Structure 1
């Protein structure tokens, strides 16, 4: 016992030094004061943290520790209500998704976080250059689409062709971005952002296509946290191929009761990966509710698997969206064990499992899901 104590005592200065703050983000947004707040959620190499800061005459400051380049979300709420800004504004909240490093960064804007200028961050500048090369991130694409929707005329809001055209525009932009990410990664094997985004390009691309590009990236990037995570995802596709036996998993429901995928043997079950903070996930909820009502008496079930880490927000989202099927989560966030087993690189994502436990569909959304269920259950 004494030896163990001495070892821990010897290690404690090292741990303390490792956690010493190594980045600062400070700035000024207009002349905002209380109750206005800025929220910062950020993660690096699998670890994450949330922080907040009240604005005083528009000024704010964050300090913290990151192991590597961080991906984050910054939210400015003039009412001091973070979730309302993220979820309650129809996708038009004052929210940005920056990347930054171990740097002293300054942010300035006369009116909003969305229009703020960043200085002092080489990492942020590199991320912007990457975006210019491959196209806007998914969240920006959806933000712009929501902006168009918010300014649509009453006639347009009744026009199905208007919505189909907008949906096609969003899908085309995302497809273009995925293709350009692959092209950029092939030409820039030392780019952190190329490696970081290859998991996004993995969506609707065959794993061997991504692996061919991955194998040409620098050894440092391939052995990085992002690189190793991507490698596992790419190989997970073999496990979750159409026709394969669905990997079993067990997680606790909202009441703490263990639920296993194997409990659903004999029924078609849609394993739906989602999160309370995922706007596209929650936008799919009305369609899932409709399909569940149509087919639940015909041998169809849905098992919601959340990649949340905050139980209160998870439960709130279930209640607000009126989800009536079983929901489970290990509350490990993006480190969810079920997510790892199924190789999910983003949410929403799902797998349709047959009564005999085989995967018969994957990543089925909207009308694609509806058509598949109609084929199988009608």
Structure 2
């Protein structure tokens, strides 16, 4: 009897021990799952390996804010050619670039929920690959396609038949090649849009939107789902389209002021009652200086009939501005934008490059935009002849 009781006690102890071990094992697994789930849910975890790079190189995680301007989000150290860092949800929905010390070329990735793997080589950082999330995988598809398309375009541009053609034929053929390139690229982008939630495709359009007109931008935005309507790239494009619409023919020209050669203030509104060529330029801009020759000819021909010109400079060097006016014989209204006023006026008119020209009627309404050279002459001739 005593033997049986001891035996039962040992069986119960072994059973309890087994259950205890199982519970500890299950608890460990549960903790791992929880940690992984939290990591996946709350951050974009970026891991990378760059072959041939030194450990003492510091990585700057950069965010493009405007043009060629970047903000540094964080700095990361490398160990054994490897690095890792986390970006919280507030950084999602944008592309970031990795700058490796002073080395040329950057690796690009999209911050999205999940794990992102970055792989590359020190000699070709620009061609580094990021994968692991939808945006990064789709961007790699886009990069591969554009690389092949660019090679196809270059082969066509420098084909033996092209070299044998006349200069006029070459120009015509190059125009056709570029048009075909753009059409193929647009078709691929349309395919990549998919369900309208493709961050990579939205970014690919955003990289080129400053070269689009308002109708083109609105057409692009229609391709995307409203889930992306709050995305920074979507909003940039939308705001750009609204600005271009505001300064398109048929709209009233936004009024602004500038400083004259005498140091007084001149307003666009001061020129009401005449047709006005509004010309944004700078002394260092050679295309602007070349265009001033045509503007001078138009001014001399039509000024007595009711045409005026308002040339607005963005020069930082006022002496260079004054010298250019004198050298080029620009005898009409001159103004220069100083300080924050330059940024304000350029944003008001959506100017991203000069020369930028508008024609305004006596009531202050825009009647033409973007005309230069002979086209500008012909348009003014139709107004007065």
What is the TM-score with the length of structure 1 in the denominator?
A: 0.53
Asked whether the equivalents of residues 62 and 72 of structure 2 are also in contact (C-alpha less than 8 Å), the reply is: yes
In the other structure, the counterpart of 1:101 is 111
Secondary structure in 1 aligned to 2:375?
helix
Kindly report which structure 2 residues correspond to 1:67-146, keeping only aligned pairs within 5 A, or say none. 67-72=91-96, 95=105, 98-101=108-111, 105-109=117-121, 111-119=123-131, 123-131=135-143, 135=146
SS in 2 for 1:174: helix
In terms of fraction of residues, the more helix-rich structure is 2
Structure 2 residue 375 is matched with structure 1 residue 372:
yes
Contact preservation (8 Å) 2:214, 2:242 = no
What secondary structure does 2:278 align onto? strand
Aligned partner of 1:268 in structure 2 is: 277
Distance 1:248 1:54, change over 3 A: same
Q: How does 1:254-293 map to 2 (within 5 A)?
A: 262=269, 267-271=276-280, 285-293=285-293
Q: Does 1:49 align with 2:71?
A: yes
Is 1:221 matched up with 2:225?
no
Structure 1: segments with no counterpart, 5+ residues: 1-19, 81-93, 275-281, 306-313
Instruction: State the Cα distance separating 1:169 from its structure 2 match.
Output: 3.2
* Cα deviation 1:152-191 (Å, max 9, x = unaligned): 9xx99x9565456445534542354346545654x43222
- 1:350: how far off? 4.0
Report Cα offsets for 1:317-371 as digits up to 9, x if no partner: xx9xx997966476799xx655654467x76794523364433333x4xxx6323
Residues 104 and 117 (structure 1), Cα distance of their counterparts in 2 relative to 1, 3 Å cut: closer
- Picking from 340, 365, 368, the partner of 1:361 is 368
Which one of 158, 173, 181 corresponds to residue 173 of structure 1? Answer: 181
Judge conservation of contact 1:107–1:116 (CA < 8 Å) in 2: yes
Q: Which stretches of structure 1, 4 residues or more, deviate above 6 A after TM superposition?
A: 20-23, 36-40, 44-47, 51-58, 60-64, 74-78, 256-259, 322-327, 329-333
Q: In 2, are the aligned partners of 1:33 and 1:54 still within 8 Å (CA)?
A: no
What is the DSSP-based 3-state SS (H/G/I as helix, E as strand, rest coil) of the residue aligned with 1:220? helix
Counterpart contact for 2:48–2:83, Cα < 8 Å: yes
Instruction: State how far apart, in whole Å, the 2-side matches of 1:332 and 1:107 are.
Output: 45
Structure with larger Rg: 2
Q: After the TM superposition, which residues 272-351 of structure 1 pair with which residues of structure 2 at under 5 Å, given as runs?
A: 285-296=285-296, 298=299, 300=309, 302-303=311-312, 328=337, 337-338=344-345, 341-342=348-349, 350-351=356-357
Q: How many residues align?
A: 301
In structure 2, the residue matched to 1:6 is none
Shift of 1:101: 1.0
TM-score, L = length of structure 2:
0.52
Question: Is the Cα–Cα contact under 8 Å of residues 234 and 343 in structure 1 kept in the other structure?
Answer: no
Deviations, residues 28-59 of structure 1 (Å, cap 9, x unaligned): 3645799x998764237999504898999996
Q: How far apart are the structure 1 equivalents of 2:79 and 2:200?
A: 35
Shift, 1:291, TM fit: 1.2
8 Å Cα contact 1:29-1:112 kept in structure 2: no
Q: Where does structure 2 lack aligned partners over 5 or more consecutive residues?
A: 1-41, 300-307, 326-333
For 1:28, which of 46, 50, 58 is the aligned residue? 50
Per-residue Cα deviation, 1:77-132 (whole angstroms, up to 9, x for no partner): 97x7xxxxxxxxxxxxx556834215655342152223334455653322223456
CA contact (8 A) 1:30 1:58 kept: no
- Superposed CA deviations along residues 282-328 of structure 1, whole A, max 9, x for unmatched, are 9xx433331124424735555467xxxxxxxx969xx9xx9979664
Q: CA deviation at 1:269?
A: 1.7
State whether residues 38 and 77 of structure 1, in contact with CA within 8 Å, keep that contact through their aligned partners in structure 2. yes
Q: Secondary structure at the match of 1:111?
A: helix
Q: Report the Cα distance in structure 1 between the residues aligned to 2:180 and 2:347, rounded to whole angstroms.
A: 28
Residue 278 of structure 1 corresponds to none
CA RMSD of aligned residues (A): 5.9
Aligned partners of 2:144 and 2:243: how far apart in 1?
A: 31
Would you say the 8 A contact 1:259–1:328 is kept in 2? Answer: no
Whole-angstrom distance in 2 between the partners of 1:262 and 1:231: 28
Q: Is the partner of 2:127 in helix, strand or coil? A: coil
Is residue 72–residue 99 contact of structure 1 (8 Å, CA) maintained in 2? yes
